[in-house]
Amino acid sequence: MTQIAQDDTNAVVIIGSGAGGGTLAHELTRRGIKVVLLEAGARQSYATFTQNPGEAFVQLTWLDPRTTSGSWTVPQDYPGLPSWTAKTLGGTTVHWTGATPRIQPWEVRARSTYGEIAGTSLIDWPIEYSELERYYELAERRLLVTRRHGNPGLPASSHFKIMYHGARRIGYHRVHTGHLAVNTQPADERGMCIQQGFCVQGCKTGAKWSTLYTEIPRAEATGNLDLRLRCHALRIEHGADGRASAVIYRDAEGNEQRQKARLLCVACNSIETARLLLLSESSRFPHGLANSSDQVGRNYCRHTAGFIWGVFDKPVKFWRGTTLAGIVEDETKNDPKRGFVGGYHLELAALDLPSLPLAGFPSTLWGRDLGFLMDHYDRMAGMLINGEDMPRATNRITLSTSVKDSAGIPVAHIHVDEHDNDAAMRAHAQRQGRAIYEAVGALRTATSRQTPAAHNMCTARMSKDPRDGVVDAHGRAHDVPNLYVSDGSALTTPGSANPTLTIVALALRQAEHIAREMSSRNL
Amino acid sequence: MSTSATYPRRDFLAAGGILTGFLAAGGPLSLLAPSRAWALELGSLSSAEGARLLSVARTIAPHDSLEDAAYAIVVKAIDAAAADEQVRATLKAGLAQLGEDFATRAEPARVEALQAVEHSEFFSFVRTKTLGTLYASPIAYGHFGYEGEAFSKGGYLTRGFDELNWLPDVPLEDSGPKAGSGGR
């Protein structure tokens, strides 16, 4: 294992090994750049993934506490779990469902397209869609995304048949098994999908792309990666010149360490990235590192989400098969006549038996209504709404003033008040989802409210104007020239697409930029 | 059974009831089990409290043909959590408030009694524990038809992931070929 000295001021330090950090680590190390990769979690593998949902949840999930406030329903329905992301090598790419749609062209011009919407902090992205497209193509080829570049789609499961025919019957045309980073045949030194249905517990065949068994081992093989597991970053230090100089972290034994750095890339997923920057305040950066704009932690987006369930009188067995191999794209347009701006996907979604009652329904459901739904578990179909939620300056991550973690450091506090546009979008999506199921004979339909944030975005967003965001078009902090944000925090607005493909595309682009800057000694 | 010098004898006897039941005759479990009778030792709850709690769980998540044994597992989990003093206090107070005859009342009355405390910490805790435990046991898997882990059996690619036949097939252009079917 490569070891980089802690006082090596030439080291690039990446904090977090998910879609952004893991990809960036590989892209830099294969270019000969020495990288220290800090990961708070442990290393799992095909062998250690478990298909006992309760065990998998404890094994993979970021369970460190957060506090919450605001009018959103998530704390009531999901106490203790405002966000569902991973703490493991590979980050949330171990847990995700593999969905890789692209953001839509107008979604990177959200402010220009939607106009002024009261109570939002909409801005446009500082990059052109044509630029993003180049990297989408690279990312899709890298991840072997289905139904792109000649790759066939996944086969239709029983579960998808219901979505497909219901959607077609109510007039939808763009319904298919999805753009997924899931192998339909062995490729990329990974296995193929055998339709297990345990995608979110870690894919035991490696059919689903994850940095855990692609980018990270390849980065290690270059000999330029110093991977440090169970290391939790506590603060980033800077010098008198205002440049980031080191990261303080707690190692696997619980001891504090300092790793010096030539440049730092923060990729901790949006809640912890914001928290780390806020914890790194100093007299020069009294509101947190790189936060002269006061935008760190703000504009927190999660996608308008929620489950829709349909119950039938004949078996479906929706747990059998790739969890998200089905999508309806027709509503991803911007059509304010529907009563809201922005669009949404409807995505196939199943839950295992033990998880369904607490994850899939609102906390107000019990009694015979609950009993009826659970009695029909093997005759159930489900979908998840994934829509563009509105960024708001007051939806934000801050440092808790009341709760500290086991190391005595303030935990992240999440405040969310849902915008009316989000509520209107969800209501529309629920009506449409119910209509899909009724069109193929559902006995009953049911919905959840907003679900814990599987997608966390925009808390250190890209902006053209340094007053509107935290980083520039390359993810480089406006305030700190050798500090980068490399995860979903950098997305300017959330769009209606699951964020991973966009995160990988931006990481590929950022890697090129960093390598160029380093070789021309600008960094 | 000896009493510890640090436990007042009365408290030692008051804690730890027993929950008992019978497996349904002819059900899959009764065919496997050495005896149809089962008993569950409780650490914090009395026998009466355990029985009442089982009835609360059945009212929150009613499944008429689901074994009492499945609900006993919920009671056991809640009893274990009640080793915590605060949890125990909330739980015992909540159960006491429901009244000694709760378990014998008809369902509408039980539902009404729980609706009255629906916003309490007691109800929220019991609901969360019930929903989080009831559907996680092998008994529940068998009852609801959930097949559990799939990797060791090769997934469902050749075991019926697409067997639904009451709707037409999906055109290939909107899906994709099954592996081994020769398509690309």
Per-residue burial over A248-264, b = 16 or more CB atoms within 10 Å of its CB, e = otherwise: ebbeeeeeebebbbbbb
Residues of A with Cβ-Cβ distance to B140 under 8 angstroms: 353-354
Predicted complex ipTM: 0.94
Sequence ranges of the domains in chain A = 12-45+85-519
First-to-last C-alpha distance (Å) of chain A: 26
DSSP class per residue in A249-306: EE-TTS-EEEEE-SEEEE-S-HHHHHHHHHHT--SSSTTSTT-TTS-TT-S-B--EEE
User: In this model, does residue B12 exceed pLDDT 90?
Assistant: no
Question: For residue A324, with 0-12 CB atoms within 10 Å meaning exposed, 13-18 middle and 19 or more buried, which class applies?
Answer: buried
- Return the structure tokens found at A448: 């959840």
A112 touches chain B (CB under 8 A): no
Q: Does A379 touch chain B (CB under 8 A)?
A: no
The CA distance from B39 to the nearest CA of chain A, in Å, is 24
For B4-144, strand residue ranges (E) read: 18-22, 37-41
pLDDT of residue A163: 98
User: B176 contacts in A (CB within 8 Å)?
Assistant: 146-147, 152-156, 177, 184
Model pLDDT, residue B22? 86
pLDDT band of B180, cuts 50, 70, 90: low
The arithmetic mean of pLDDT across residues B121-136, rounded, is 98
- The residue-averaged pLDDT of B7-26 equals 69
pLDDT tier at A309 (50, 70, 90 boundaries)?
Answer: very high
Whether the per-residue pLDDT at A315 is higher than 70: the answer is yes
Angle between helices B85-98 and B121-133 (to 10 degrees): 100
Does the structure show a pLDDT above 70 at A287? yes
- Give pLDDT tens digits for A374-420: 999 999 999 999 999 999 999 999 999 999 998 899 999 999 999 99
Q: With bands split at pLDDT 50, 70 and 90, how would you rate the model's confidence at B15?
A: low
Q: What is the pTM of this model?
A: 0.96
User: B116 and chain A: CB distance < 8 Å anywhere?
Assistant: no
What is the rounded distance in angstroms from the CA atom of residue A88 to the CA atom of residue A26?
A: 17
Nearest-by-Cβ selection for A156 from B60, B155, B162: B162
Q: How far is CA B96 from the centre of its chain?
A: 21
Residue ranges of domains in chain B: 9-144
Residues of A in contact with B141 (CB under 8 A): 353
A156 in reach of chain B (CB within 8 A): yes
**Chain B contact present for A352, CB below 8 A:** yes
Beta partners for residue A327, in sequence order: A176, A347
Fold of A12-45+85-519: FAD/NAD(P)-binding domain (3.50.50)
CB A319 within 8 A of CB A384: no
> Does B146 sit within 8 Å of A353, measured CB to CB?
yes
The reply to whether residue A162 touches residue B132, judged by beta carbons under 8 angstroms, is: no
B179 touches A at CB < 8 Å: yes
The confidence score (pLDDT) of residue B28 equals 76
In A, residues 426-455, which contact B (CB 8 Å cutoff)? 440
B7 confidence band (pLDDT: 50, 70, 90): very low
pLDDT of residue B26: 76
The average pLDDT across A119-136 equals: 98
Contact criterion met (CB < 8 Å) for B174 and A164: yes
For A459-491, what is each residue's pLDDT tens digit?
A: 999 999 999 999 999 999 999 999 999 999 999
